[in-house]
Amino acid sequence: MFTKDHIISIRDFSKEEVDYVLDRAEELEIYARGNESCNLLEGKVLANLFYEPSTRTRLSFEAAMVRLGGETINIYSQESSSVAKGENLADTIRTVAGYCDVIALRHPQEGASRMAAAFSSVPIINAGDGAGQHPTQTLLDLYTIRREGLLDGLKIALIGDLKYGRTVHSLAYALSLYGATLFFVSPSALKMPEEIKSDLKEMGAEIYEYTEVKEVIQEVKVLYVTRIQKERFPDPTEYSKVAGTYRITTDILKENEDVVVMHPLPRVNEIDVEVDKTKHARYFTQSFYGVPVRMAILSILLGK
Amino acid sequence: MFTKDHIISIRDFSKEEVDYVLDRAEELEIYARGNESCNLLEGKVLANLFYEPSTRTRLSFEAAMVRLGGETINIYSQESSSVAKGENLADTIRTVAGYCDVIALRHPQEGASRMAAAFSSVPIINAGDGAGQHPTQTLLDLYTIRREGLLDGLKIALIGDLKYGRTVHSLAYALSLYGATLFFVSPSALKMPEEIKSDLKEMGAEIYEYTEVKEVIQEVKVLYVTRIQKERFPDPTEYSKVAGTYRITTDILKENEDVVVMHPLPRVNEIDVEVDKTKHARYFTQSFYGVPVRMAILSILLGK
Amino acid sequence: MFTKDHIISIRDFSKEEVDYVLDRAEELEIYARGNESCNLLEGKVLANLFYEPSTRTRLSFEAAMVRLGGETINIYSQESSSVAKGENLADTIRTVAGYCDVIALRHPQEGASRMAAAFSSVPIINAGDGAGQHPTQTLLDLYTIRREGLLDGLKIALIGDLKYGRTVHSLAYALSLYGATLFFVSPSALKMPEEIKSDLKEMGAEIYEYTEVKEVIQEVKVLYVTRIQKERFPDPTEYSKVAGTYRITTDILKENEDVVVMHPLPRVNEIDVEVDKTKHARYFTQSFYGVPVRMAILSILLGK
């Protein structure tokens, strides 16, 4: 059923494997909430090996491990230079693997996790490798959607920087496994790359492209909002204009009273704080769901 | 009896609530010593969210949590900037609250904890907010005094910088609940502020002001010594003169053979190291008492 | 049998005490592998107090403690300055001792651990004090050799910088307890110091000195390789020449098909990566053995 030794890319997953992880996450969610304690991974050790800071991801892995009764040891980015002082990643991985049962690796270089897996005696979980993959983020996005009962045949708007956004690329791919209709909403300079669109179409996804949220809001069940980075625009005035257009407010949400708003966080001002109090907001819940999803991954990899 | 959801300021506490915490601390002290293990908070997670370094306070909270069988996840000051990268405190709190059962927050801005509490789905413990409050420090000071059997109607000298010293302000307030007589000993430039004195008098405290330790040492049971910071004096010679006057030595302690010496630590040279070996010294014990007191707070907030 | 309160220097150990630690490590190795969980140190707390970074050592101590069911609190080098802000080591030790049951201390100054032990109410483990001692490294080296069945009367080549190398000094001493024959292989500028050689001879060790690995490889069971630091050579060309000579390759290993290659790690290029795949390589296993050895030390000191 689930035969992976390492979690490197969401593109390695079949639909059945995704379902398997999400089923497991659902079983474990009660422990993620801390209301009941769990000893499933008692005596097991997760090493968070982070070559760049990503506090949110690290904390979520730590919380997942301790909620399962396991323990975490952390190698922070500011230290990684010293672990790695004159040492290649392969040596560091083989050393750290001697101290733990599973490694969550965050690394600025695309492909680092796959390389690490080749040298590791324990499972590697890719916790983000540069412009590459961040599969547990995608799984928590899917879990959030599934908990809304919306996973099959979802109509979703992916909004913001679709050109450079690793998160939306992976999510679009994964949703295509479930027969999604994808509405891409972005400034014309930040459109979804052609090769990804053609991959998605091959997988059977229906795809539409727009430049404004108001054009699609009544068609979709979910708005998946991402940040548009100022640095993508040579001209700051251009950025301000664009950022304003993609900002989600209570006003625009009046167009669809059931739509769910997601965001991988942190947000800057893509979503007005007024939205937080509405029934549309799901982004903090989504962030919490990182815990049961990572619990599922950890327990599956460690054979429990 | 104890109905607080968050621990923000010692001024929110009634005498009964302080007693309740100190009673609980006394019960838990045996576990704080590590001689017996305790599983009261098994499966529970404390997040130490520190926006500025305070290693001592962080360690004390960590020790308290693990002595109760719980787990801690840490967000260090050097990372907080990255958690908070373009993110307001409210968003960070809501995210971190998804990973834990209780948050100890250290923040440079007065009022940060009360603001955080408004957004948090889990209890907030103020672990110091700038010039504001640090209620667990006050509680451990009270606990130390109570363990000496001196809490009711105590005669105490508060020594050093009484103008800016957050610690002595809170302690003076809390001791007033127990009918204390307060001897304020400070350089004239660093006297206890008028508004605090009038508050204390209203609460029924007896107050006296002095400029030298030798004037009061025979009157009191406790010398509570604090640091006088060089930066408070425009003229370094002035500082040296003052610092010398407020320095506690074995010589001056000959004036009162039963007096107990406390200090919130770290000390610079307000207390001569020769005092460490005498029966007067209580500052390292006081520091240790931070553990049972924080255990009490954690167990009460988490309903155990 | 084992009566030490603190672990400061391997030179404080008798042969019987070393055996006692290694026996215990062997019993605990199964738990170090994470296949079975162990609650021996449940409720106990180790404080890693590191005044300089040494991620590998810290992680190994952390892993050892959690594999025994205990907990770790960390004070990192970047924070130590703040713990120690205007505070001497004695005060820091007394404070930290109030939060834990045992302290692993890493400090840049020789003698820091022995000084710390004088002030600590809990056991101190020296995790490296500058040019001084690092006894748990020596114990894991001995354990690795013993696990090969080679500890008694071993013929070993110690290779590299024998002048400044703290690791090889301690190891040479400890092996002398077991009747070793020591082949020192180093550039002439980095020879084993005379006073150490005379100590070793007094202990009954046989000593030979060489300048090239090929002269001794057929005589020995173990090659213990250490790094030669560029900074030791005023002339970079001189360094390159030397570094090449002491590099272990699959080629030179053809001269002795049973020889075991050890290295305290991290390596730069003293050992060719091609060696990793051969049966000679034992350096990653050696690194892992740090866990059972430190488990042994922790459990003995805490009386379990």
Side chain identity at residue A273, one-letter code: V
CB contact under 8 A, A45 and C36: no
CB contact under 8 A, C63 and A87: no
Structure-block tokens of residue A177? 């496994």
Query: Is residue C1 in some structural domain?
Result: no
Banded model confidence at residue B86, pLDDT cuts 50, 70, 90: low
ipTM: 0.95
CB contact under 8 A, A59 and B94: no
In this structure, the answer to whether residues A153 and A276 fall within a common structural domain is yes
Query: Is residue A61 in some structural domain?
Result: yes
Banded model confidence at residue C268, pLDDT cuts 50, 70, 90: confident
Q: Which residue of C has its CA nearest to A71?
A: C66
Tell me: the pLDDT tens digits for C40-53? 999 999 999 999 88
pLDDT for the residue C32: 98
pLDDT for the residue A82: 54
Tell me: the pLDDT tens digits for C207-222? 999 999 999 999 999 9
Query: Is residue C2 in some structural domain?
Result: no
CB contact under 8 A, B34 and C44: yes
pLDDT for the residue A269: 87
**Is the pLDDT score of C88 beyond 80?**
yes
Separation CA B38–CA C1 (nearest Å): 31
**Is the pLDDT score of C182 beyond 70?**
yes
**Is the pLDDT score of B268 beyond 90?**
no
Residue written as token pair 């509570």: B224
Query: Is residue B141 in some structural domain?
Result: no
For residue B47, the chain A residues in CB contact (below 8 A) are 59
**Across the strands, what pairs with A103?**
A47, A124
**Is the pLDDT score of C81 beyond 70?**
no
Separation CA A248–CA C29 (nearest Å): 56
In this structure, the answer to whether residues A45 and A95 fall within a common structural domain is yes
CB contact under 8 A, B34 and C42: no
CB contact under 8 A, C267 and A87: yes
User: Could you give the percent of chain B with pLDDT greater than 70?
Assistant: 97
Q: Which range of residues forms the domain containing residue B249?
A: 149-281
Distances in Å between the Cα of C261 and the Cα atoms of B201, C145, C280, C283, C284 are 76, 10, 6, 7, 10
Separation CA A219–CA A204 (nearest Å): 19
Separation CA A51–CA A107 (nearest Å): 5
pLDDT for the residue A132: 84
pLDDT for the residue C7: 98
Query: Is residue C142 in some structural domain?
Result: no
Instruction: Using CB atoms, pick whichever of C31, C55, C72 lies closest to residue A79.
Output: C55
- How many Å lie between the alpha carbon of C99 and the closest alpha carbon of chain B? 6
Q: For residue A9, how far is the Cα from the chain centroid? A: 11
Banded model confidence at residue B80, pLDDT cuts 50, 70, 90: low
Q: What is the mean pLDDT of chain B?
A: 94
- How many Å lie between the alpha carbon of B69 and the closest alpha carbon of chain A? 11
Mean pLDDT per 10-residue interval, chain A, length 304 residues? 92 96 98 95 96 92 97 82 68 96 95 97 96 94 98 97 93 97 95 96 96 97 93 83 88 97 93 97 98 98 89
- How many Å lie between the alpha carbon of C194 and the closest alpha carbon of chain A? 31
CB contact under 8 A, B55 and C75: yes
pLDDT for the residue A208: 98
Q: Which residue of A has its CA nearest to B43?
A: A37
In this structure, the answer to whether residues B89 and B182 fall within a common structural domain is no
Please name the chains neighbouring B, where neighbouring means 3+ C-beta pairs under 8 angstroms: A, C
In this structure, the answer to whether residues B71 and B101 fall within a common structural domain is yes
Count how many Cα atoms sit within 13 Å of the Cα of residue A230 in the half-sphere of its side chain.
6
Query: Is residue A121 in some structural domain?
Result: yes
For residue A94, the chain C residues in CB contact (below 8 A) are 284, 287
Query: Is residue B163 in some structural domain?
Result: yes
In this structure, the answer to whether residues B129 and B155 fall within a common structural domain is no
In this structure, the answer to whether residues A105 and A156 fall within a common structural domain is no
Question: Are A196 and A164 contacting, i.e. CB atoms less than 8 angstroms apart?
Answer: no
CB contact under 8 A, B99 and A63: yes
Of A167, A148, A285, the C-alpha closest to A221 is: A148
CB contact under 8 A, A95 and C268: no
Structure-block tokens of residue C41? 């140190």
Phi and psi of B179, rounded to 5°?
A: 70, 40
Quote the longest CA-to-CA distance of chain B. Answer: 57
SS3 call for A238: helix
Question: Per-residue pLDDT averaged across C72-94, rounded?
Answer: 77
For residue A36, the chain B residues in CB contact (below 8 A) are 43
Q: List residues in chain C touching B: CB distance below 8 A.
A: 42-45, 47, 71, 73, 75, 78-79, 82-83, 85-87, 90-91, 94-96, 98-101
Phi and psi of B263, rounded to 5°?
A: -165, 135
pLDDT for the residue A93: 96
For residue B82, the chain A residues in CB contact (below 8 A) are 53-55
- How many Å lie between the alpha carbon of A174 and the closest alpha carbon of chain C? 34
Query: Is residue B48 in some structural domain?
Result: yes
pLDDT for the residue B119: 97
**Is the pLDDT score of C191 beyond 90?**
yes
Question: Per-residue pLDDT averaged across B224-237, rounded?
Answer: 86
- How many Å lie between the alpha carbon of B226 and the closest alpha carbon of chain C? 14
| Domain count of the fold of chain B | 2
In this structure, the answer to whether residues A109 and A222 fall within a common structural domain is no
Separation CA B130–CA B206 (nearest Å): 28
In this structure, the answer to whether residues B127 and B73 fall within a common structural domain is yes
Q: CATH no. for residue C29? A: 3.40.50.1370
pLDDT for the residue C83: 56
In this structure, the answer to whether residues A273 and A296 fall within a common structural domain is no
pLDDT for the residue A81: 54
Please name the chains neighbouring A, where neighbouring means 3+ C-beta pairs under 8 angstroms: B, C
Tell me: the pLDDT tens digits for B126-173? 999 988 899 999 999 999 999 999 999 999 999 999 999 989 999 999
In this structure, the answer to whether residues B60 and B180 fall within a common structural domain is no
In this structure, the answer to whether residues C276 and C295 fall within a common structural domain is no
Classify residue B75 as exposed, middle or buried by CB count within 10 Å of its CB (0-12, 13-18, 19+): buried
pLDDT for the residue B85: 56
In this structure, the answer to whether residues B265 and B204 fall within a common structural domain is yes
Count how many Cα atoms sit within 13 Å of the Cα of residue B21 in the half-sphere of its side chain.
30
**Is the pLDDT score of B78 beyond 80?**
no
Structure-block tokens of residue A159? 């909004």
Phi and psi of C223, rounded to 5°?
A: -105, 115
